[in-house]
């Protein structure tokens, strides 16, 4: 039996005993009974006051445990019933605390995932009010200010198509997707809105997923342009071969001089096609990383001297001065010799092509802040400033170059080779003064 019930029983039994003793005496019969009753009432009042105080203390303790100090636990001492109650409350509080911390860990995990996603995720209710928006969505839609839950979707984007996708999916209760061009942000996005119900009501809200398609579309455009440029470049020599063959067929074949001339033209067009195909294949190999670099340590001086040697006869023929200007402290460099030689060949042959007799071409090499730089500078015709940003693009040729032989792929290949070595390539030029193409390599 518990302490409280025992005490109650002792009090009542004592009171009854007093009543019996008192009741046994004829003289004090009535008085004794009254005294016993008063004693019993006093005991009950005393005990109930004590119990009331203990319950009040326990209640305050429970309030403190559940609301003020969550780490506080009830003291499981005192009367047995109260101690049991305290232990039960402590167990309940522990369980709730575990559930809450599990739930908040899950929330943090979800928030981290949403924050690190490259795709934009926005939850919008049927009134167009944002319930949540991750940073990628703000960046993709290029929202001006910080987006807070409770704001209208129109504060995140004013683009009507984005808002239309969300509205349509909520009204039709179906997933709606659309490819949208955001001109002001210069990007293309795929917006997919999926309706889903609120757990506590019949109202529908939408999960808007935004994917940046700019790179994919850019790649598509580049591919289309490449195919169209390559076809165009191949068609030119092909047309030349056809014209020469037809002229020979029409009778020129009987004229030894004419035959020689048209056969030479056919040969030149075939060479042009051959070079174009070889350069396209090289570019494709470089872009796909199919043929890895064969890196070897080589003396920078000998690298430049090998390149210069190949052009010394051409320079004399074209009445150009071909010089080298290499600093003494040039170290050995870690490069794919064949490929870096290809870069020098392209730059020097361009310099020869765009210089006039009397001009100077200088191949330089120097070290700047631990980085090895090479450059090919000419005092030739120079490049118009509006062409400079496009100079490394595939098939790019200046207006003056269109009538000249050349595929327009040389500089694109050179830059890819330098990129693959982890280097940088740049150009400076001034019309009438000349150009300088520079690149870095690792040591
Ligand atoms: P191409 O096969 O036509 O030479 P490149 O990619 O090597 O192709 O060069 C692209 C264009 O850049 C050339 O057609 C030419 O218009 C311009 N260019 C390149 N190098 C020079 C230079 N040193 N001086 C002037 N223009 C140049």
Give 166-204 pLDDT, tens digit per residue. Answer: 999 999 999 999 999 888 778 899 999 999 987 777 788
Half-sphere exposure of 240 (CA within 13 A, CB side): 18
User: Among the atoms of ligand 1, which is closest to the Cα of residue 400?
Assistant: 16
At residue 385, the pLDDT reads 94
* Residues 354-381, mean pLDDT to the nearest whole number: 96
Q: Provide the pLDDT confidence category of residue 13 given band limits of 50, 70 and 90.
A: low
Q: Count other C-beta atoms under 10 Å from residue 224's C-beta.
A: 10
- Ligand 1 centre and the CA of 403: distance in Å? 12
Greater pLDDT, 350 or 289: 350
At residue 140, the pLDDT reads 87
Measured in degrees and rounded to the nearest 5, phi and psi for residue 265 equal: -65, -40
Q: What is the CATH number of domain 117-212?
A: 3.30.450.20
Per DSSP bridges, beta strands 176-182 and 187-197 are antiparallel
Closest Cα to atom 26, ligand 1: which residue? 383
Instruction: Quick: pLDDT tens for 342-360.
Output: 999 999 999 999 999 999 9
Pick the CATH number of 296-441 from 3.30.565.10, 1.20.1090.10, 3.40.50.720, 3.40.309.10: 3.30.565.10
pTM over the 0.85 mark? no
* Residues 239-256, mean pLDDT to the nearest whole number: 91
Pocket test for ligand 1, best of 348, 401, 403, 405 (most atoms within 8 A of CB): 401
Assess contact for 222 and 138: CB atoms under 8 A.
no
Q: Measured from the CB, is residue 343 less than 6 Å from ligand 1?
A: no
Q: Measured from the CB, is residue 379 less than 6 Å from ligand 1?
A: no
Q: Measured from the CB, is residue 350 less than 6 Å from ligand 1?
A: yes
Q: What percent of the chain has pLDDT over 70?
A: 90
Greater pLDDT, 22 or 59: 59
In terms of average pLDDT, the best of 33-37, 89-93, 134-138 is: 134-138
C-alpha pair distances (Å), 21 with each of 7, 30, 184: 21, 11, 104
- Ligand 1 centre and the CA of 345: distance in Å? 13
Q: Measured from the CB, is residue 434 less than 6 Å from ligand 1?
A: no
Closest Cα to atom 16, ligand 1: which residue? 398
At residue 26, the pLDDT reads 45
CA-CA distance, 413 to 390, in Å (whole number)? 14
Are 117-212 and 222-288 the same fold in CATH? no
CA-CA distance, 390 to 398, in Å (whole number)? 9
Q: Is the pLDDT of residue 2 over 60?
A: no
At residue 56, the pLDDT reads 82
Burial string for 66-95 (b: 16+ CB within 10 Å, else e) reads: eeeeeeebbeeebbeebbebbeebbeebee
Map out the domains of the chain as residue ranges: 6-107, 117-212, 222-288, 296-441
Per DSSP bridges, beta strands 425-430 and 434-441 are antiparallel
Q: Count other C-beta atoms under 10 Å from residue 315's C-beta.
A: 20
Q: Provide the pLDDT confidence category of residue 399 given band limits of 50, 70 and 90.
A: confident
Q: Measured from the CB, is residue 32 less than 6 Å from ligand 1?
A: no
Picking from 92-101, 141-150, 267-276, 305-314, which range would have the lowest pLDDT averaged per residue?
141-150
Element (H, E) at 315: helix 300-317
Q: What is the CATH number of domain 222-288?
A: 1.10.287.130
130 Cβ contact list (under 8 Å, min separation 6): 122, 123, 124, 147, 148, 149, 150, 151, 152, 153, 155, 156
């Amino acid at each position: 039996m518990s302490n409280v019930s025992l005490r109650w029983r002792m009090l009542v039994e004592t009171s009854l005993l007093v009543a019996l003793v008192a009741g046994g005496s004829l003289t004090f019969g009535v008085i004794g009974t009254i005294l016993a009753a008063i004693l019993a009432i006093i005991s009950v009042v005393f005990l109930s006051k004590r119990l009331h105080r203990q319950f009040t203390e326990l209640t305050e303790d429970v309030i403190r445990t559940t609301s003020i100090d969550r780490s506080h636990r009830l003291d499981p001492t005192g009367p047995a019933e109260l101690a049991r109650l305290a232990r039960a409350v402590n167990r309940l509080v522990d369980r709730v605390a575990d559930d809450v911390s599990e739930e908040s860990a899950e929330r943090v995990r979800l928030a981290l995932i949403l924050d690190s996603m490259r795709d934009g995720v926005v939850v919008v209710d049927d009134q167009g009010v944002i319930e949540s928006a991750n940073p990628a969505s703000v960046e993709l839609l290029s929202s001006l200010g910080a987006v807070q839950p409770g704001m209208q979707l129109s504060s995140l984007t004013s683009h009507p198509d984005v808002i239309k996708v969300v509205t349509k999916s909520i009204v039709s209760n179906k997933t709606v997707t659309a490819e949208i061009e955001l001109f002001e942000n210069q990007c293309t996005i795929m917006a997919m809105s999926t309706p889903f119900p609120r757990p506590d009501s019949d109202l529908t809200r939408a999960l808007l997923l935004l994917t940046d398609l700019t790179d994919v579309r850019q790649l598509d455009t580049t591919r289309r342009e490449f195919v169209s440029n390559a076809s165009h470049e191949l068609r030119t020599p092909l047309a030349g071969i056809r014209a020469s063959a037809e002229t020979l067929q029409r009778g020129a074949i009987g004229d030894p001089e004419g035959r020689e001339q048209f056969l030479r033209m056919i040969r030149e067009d075939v060479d042009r096609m051959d070079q174009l195909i070889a350069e396209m294949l090289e570019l494709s190999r470089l872009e796909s990383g199919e043929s890895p670099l064969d890196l070897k340590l080589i003396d920078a001086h000998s690298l430049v001297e090998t390149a210069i040697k190949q052009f010394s006869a051409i320079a004399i023929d074209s009445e150009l001065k071909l010089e080298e200007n290499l600093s003494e402290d040039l170290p050995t460099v870690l490069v794919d010799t064949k490929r870096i030689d290809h870069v020098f060949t392209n730059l020097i042959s361009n310099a020869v092509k765009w210089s006039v007799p009397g001009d100077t071409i200088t191949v330089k090499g120097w070290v700047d802040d631990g980085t090895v730089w090479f450059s090919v500078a000419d005092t030739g015709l120079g490049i118009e400033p509006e062409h400079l940003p496009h100079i490394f693009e595939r098939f790019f040729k200046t207006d003056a170059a269109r009538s000249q032989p050349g595929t327009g792929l040389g500089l694109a290949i050179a830059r890819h080779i330098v990129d693959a070595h982890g280097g940088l390539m740049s150009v400076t030029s001034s019309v009438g003064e000349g150009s300088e193409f520079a690149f870095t390599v690792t040591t």
